[in-house]
Amino acid sequence: MGCQREIVQKIVDKKADYVLALKGAQGSLREDVEIFVAEQKAKDFKDTKISRDETIDADHGRIETRTTTVIHDVAWLQGRHNWPGLKAVLVVESTWETGDKIERETRFDITSLVLLAILLGPIVRSHWAIENSLHWVMDMIFRDDECRVRTDHAPANFTTVKHMAHNLIRKAPGKDSLRPSRKVAAWDDDFLASLVAA
């Protein structure tokens, strides 16, 4: 969490904005958000200031309903965590219906943006699209889902190294796709050196 906080602080220092998905790595921050959201949902958010937007998409027999709730009153969270530039918490509840099958997912994000749900929803959705696309690339090229590195800081460090390698391979000259370029870099020291020196 310390590394994420440092990165977010640098973003804020440069007068830029961020949207950060809350996952297990943020520890008590995510837990506090989940508890608060559950309490407020039970009261229909009457104790806090929110904006809400709902979208419905249908494609190939699948209907997705996405409800974005932005909690604009985050002084309580800042008081507990002092997160750089924090202005809002986003709760995105998605429901997918395919025939008789219904799937649900709730995601939490924090952001420095001061925008209503109708504007923040599309930003979060495009953020997820980029994240999902990168995950697919990392899995196809580096077999990310098969990685068994699990202890201490090793998973984060290993992921950082793989992302650096991915970025270097993407800049490789020629028309080879990522996978052949990765193999050539493993076999040819001169090619590998040219990637690192570029």
Residue 72 is predicted with a pLDDT of 94
83: alpha, beta or left, given left = phi > 0 and alpha = psi -120 to 50? beta
Residue 42 is predicted with a pLDDT of 93
Residue 190 is predicted with a pLDDT of 77
Q: What is the largest CA-CA distance in the chain?
A: 64
| Distance from chain centroid for Cα 146 | 20
Residue 182 is predicted with a pLDDT of 65
CA distance 165 to 163: 5
Residue 37 is predicted with a pLDDT of 92
Q: Quick one: angle between helices 178-187 and 117-142, nearest 10?
A: 40
Residue 132 is predicted with a pLDDT of 47
- Residue pLDDT tens, the chain, 198 long: 567 788 889 889 999 898 888 876 566 888 999 999 999 999 999 989 999 999 998 877 788 899 999 999 999 888 999 889 999 999 999 998 988 889 999 989 999 999 999 998 888 877 554 454 454 555 555 565 556 666 776 666 666 776 676 666 666 666 565 666 666 766 777 776 776 776
Strands 88-98 and 101-111: antiparallel
Give pTM, 2 decimals: 0.63
Strand order in the sheet with 62-71: 19-21, 101-111, 88-98, 62-71, 50-59
Write the DSSP symbol of residue 44: T
Residue 163 is predicted with a pLDDT of 63
173: its two tokens = 């000259």
